[in-house]
């Protein structure tokens, strides 16, 4: 036709003489997403879990070091002075009014903050 002769037998013979190339390993769609997934998990740990554990440890230390005459603020915003700490029952008694001697018993987890002498509320 255009001066090119098609010789299928010759092409097959040449193909048989060439060394077989190993097929590339089949990759799954998950392989490309594995690294980003691991990076997201590492970021999640350092941005969320680690600071939360640190806050929790700081709160436990604050509750463990709670003693009488500490000025505290509860999670409800009540200011008072600790008069008794029952560590086994996790109950704290606070005096909220000096003139009448009104006291409240709250759970230890209800203490939000211990106010130092230099941090008196204004």
Q: pLDDT tens digit string along 72-116?
A: 999 999 999 999 999 999 999 999 998 999 999 999 999 999 998
Same domain, 94 and 114: yes
* CB-neighbour burial class of residue 78 (10 A; exposed 0-12, middle 13-18, buried 19+): middle
The answer to whether residue 7 sits within a structural domain is: no
User: Which whole-number Å values give the CA distances from 58 to 51, 55, 76, 101, in the listed order?
Assistant: 10, 5, 20, 31
Asked if residue 46 belongs to a domain, the reply is yes
Which long-range CB contacts under 8 A does 16-21 form with residues at least 24 apart?
Answer: none
Span 33-39, average pLDDT = 86
Q: Per the domain annotation, does 38 fall within a domain?
A: yes
H or E element, residue 97:
strand 91-97
74 with 89, same domain?
Answer: yes
Instruction: Tally the domains of the chain.
Output: 2
pLDDT confidence of 6, banded at 50, 70, 90?
A: low
Q: How far is CA 23 from the centre of its chain?
A: 44
Co-location of 60 and 84 in the same domain: no
Question: Phi and psi for 38 in degrees, rounded to 5?
Answer: -65, -40
Residue 110 included in any domain: yes
Does residue 115 fall inside a structural domain?
A: yes
Structural domain including 40 reads 34-65
The verdict on 76 and 87 lying in the same domain is yes
CATH number at residue 106: 2.30.30
pTM: 0.59
Handedness of CA 73, 75, 76, 77 (dihedral sign): positive
- Both structure tokens of 122: 């204004």
């Amino acid at each position: 036709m255009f001066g090119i002769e098609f010789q299928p037998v010759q092409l097959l013979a040449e193909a048989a003489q060439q060394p077989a190339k190993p097929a590339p390993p089949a990759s799954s769609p998950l392989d490309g997403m594995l690294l980003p997934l691991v990076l997201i998990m590492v970021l999640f740990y350092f941005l969320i879990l680690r600071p939360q554990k640190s806050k929790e440890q700081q709160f436990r230390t604050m509750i463990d070091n709670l003693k009488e005459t500490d000025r505290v603020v509860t999670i409800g915003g009540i200011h008072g002075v600790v008069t008794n700490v029952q560590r086994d029952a996790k109950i704290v008694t606070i005096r909220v009014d000096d003139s009448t001697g009104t006291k409240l018993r709250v759970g230890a987890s209800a203490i939000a903050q211990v106010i130092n002498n230099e941090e008196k509320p204004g």
